[in-house]
Amino acid sequence: MMTMTLVAMDTTIVATAIPQVVSDLGGFSLVGWVFSVYLLAQTVTIPIYGKFADLYGRKPILITGVVVFLIGSAFSAAAWNMVSLILFRALQGLGAGSIGATVNTVAGDLYDIKERGRVQGWLSSVWGIAAVVAPALGGVFAEYASWRWIFLVNLPIGAIALTLLMRDLHENVERRSHRIDFAGSGLLLLSAGMLIFGLLQGGTAWAWLSAPSIVVFAVAVIAAAFVVVVERRAAEPIMPPWLWGRRLTGGSFIATIAAGLLVIGLSTFLPTWAQSVLGLDAVAAGFVLATMSITWPLASSISNRLYLRIGFRDTAFVGALLAVAAGVVFSSTAAHSGVWQPVLGSALMGAGLGLITTSLIVGLQSTVDWSRRGVVTGGVIFSRFLGQSIGAAIFGAITNSVLAHRLTTAPSNIRGQVPHAVDGVSRALKGGHLPSSAQVFLRTAIHASTHAVFVGLLVAGIVTTVALLVLVPRRFPTLATQAPTVEAVAQPPV
């Protein structure tokens, strides 16, 4: 949990202090890369760390990831311009890639099926607490100390995590030589990296149908084809063909990708809608979204009672139905809706995602032995991040196109008072110098663009539901209890 705290705090604490970072380092046009390069490095390395955890054990991979993350944090705190900060954030991302997947794998090693749901609730609670605490902490650092402390605060947390890991986590790993799949690793990094890079840049740095976009996605597809060929011949493949070839794992991965759209769609656009349309301040808007961060770990912690009775697939199906209900709540919002409506939607979405993600992770972990648990868990986490990247591209394109259309069709009496470009809408509303008619128009335009995203959430919830019913088998063939390979001090053998 201490290790997971490093990753959980990172994004929100950095976002809060970005104005001060730009004021100090400059490079406003590169701000997006502070987040994008971190997400890119983190996502593409997850499957590789998962495989290495199976080959060499969880402990060395997890400790390596934490050390790399802390080195990246220390260098980020010492950044002298925006380019150096982006490079060091990439280093942070390379470390973060090992943390999420490997921590969840260790949880699968230490606890049996009955307990894993509760433990996943503990891990999810870390994200819920970070969603509330990290923005406030980042604001305090930026206002009263220095933005550099948003990275330096990772060092004491990481030191505690490393101490606990080295002292209390013990593994029984068979030491033997392995044939590292360098070709598969490189091609997988290239394919996943180009795909996510294209999704992050498409519609912003270049048009979706432009030459750069076509080239990037073509490289991703070609590299993916080579991954398939190489992995079939590799002695110890990084991405074993059975991961996507089996209906159970492949279907669960696809359902997880769809669920990733739900995560990013709500967390990215709900705060803006709450502030710009409902008129809430930043703190209140953050608490509206934090409702999801509260119900997610609660649902995760009680999921074991549900999946032990009705099974893993049906538990995830119940979660998908809750996500659809949340989509209905959000898609029925109006510009004059009460605060209770987005709060209810967030609560339903968090509960749904808690059931979906926990049941699929625990369910897949229960179908494989220790030597495959890392690669399976890494596949689930990678699928979720890939879904978030796809969702960011889709929902970003939707909101930008709707808002741009509203601006170009503004009434003639206010056309000269409202911005012509999408990027200027937020600044115009915060400036406070617009006449009331122009403010009403912009708020209505933002609501229209965000409402389109809310409808997209409903569609994503339906897609997740259908994927679970059609692609994921109802029964997960769980393995019998095996001899423990991992234990912790004061933790009884599994």
- Enumerate the domain spans of the chain: 1-178, 179-235, 240-478
Q: Which residue type sits at 349?
A: M
Q: How does pLDDT run across 309-354, given as a tens digit for each residue?
A: 999 999 999 999 999 999 999 999 888 888 899 999 999 999 999 9
| Token pair 């493949």: residue | 237
Residue 100 confidence (pLDDT) above 60: yes
Residue 274 confidence (pLDDT) above 50: yes
**pTM of the entire structure?**
0.87
Query: In this structure, is the dihedral angle defined by the CA atoms of residues 278, 283, 289 and 290, taken in order, positive or negative?
Result: negative
Q: Give the model's confidence band at 427: pLDDT under 50 very low, under 70 low, under 90 confident, else very high.
A: low
* Average pLDDT for 382-397: 87
**CB under 8 Å to 154, separation ≥6 — which residues?**
6, 9, 10, 69, 70, 73
* DSSP β-bridge partners for residue 169: 488
Distance CA 102, CA 59 (A): 9
CA dist list (Å): 344 to 62, 90, 325, 454? 37, 36, 10, 14
Contact by Cβ (8 Å): 330, 458: yes
Question: Are domains 1-178 and 240-478 of this chain identical in fold?
Answer: yes
Q: In the predicted model, what is the mean pLDDT of the chain?
A: 85
Helix (H) or strand (E) holding 488: strand 486-488
Q: Is 482 exposed, middle or buried (0-12, 13-18, 19+ CB in 10 A)?
A: exposed
Contact by Cβ (8 Å): 356, 297: no
Question: What is the assigned CATH class of domain 1-178?
Answer: mainly alpha
What's the chain's Rg over C-alpha atoms?
23
Q: Give pLDDT, residue 351.
A: 94
Q: Give pLDDT, residue 428.
A: 66
Q: Give pLDDT, residue 490.
A: 34
Q: How does pLDDT run across 63-78, given as a tens digit for each residue?
A: 999 999 999 999 999 9
203: left (phi > 0), else alpha (psi -120 to 50), else beta?
A: left
174-203 b/e (C-beta count within 10 Å ≥ 16 → b): eeeeeeebebbbbbbbbbbbbbbbbbbbbb
Residue 481 confidence (pLDDT) above 70: no
271 closest CA partner among 426, 104, 442: 426
Lowest mean per-residue pLDDT among 220-229, 335-344, 400-409? 400-409
Which CATH number, 2.30.110.10, 2.160.20.10, 1.20.1250.20, 3.40.50.720, labels domain 240-478? 1.20.1250.20
Contact by Cβ (8 Å): 418, 438: yes
Contact by Cβ (8 Å): 103, 62: yes
| Highest mean predicted confidence (pLDDT) among 33-42, 53-62, 406-415, 439-448 | 53-62
Helix (H) or strand (E) holding 274: helix 247-276
φ, ψ dihedrals at 486, nearest 5°: -135, 140
Contact by Cβ (8 Å): 481, 494: yes
Residue 34 confidence (pLDDT) above 60: yes
**Half-sphere CA count of 80, side-chain side, radius 13 A:** 0
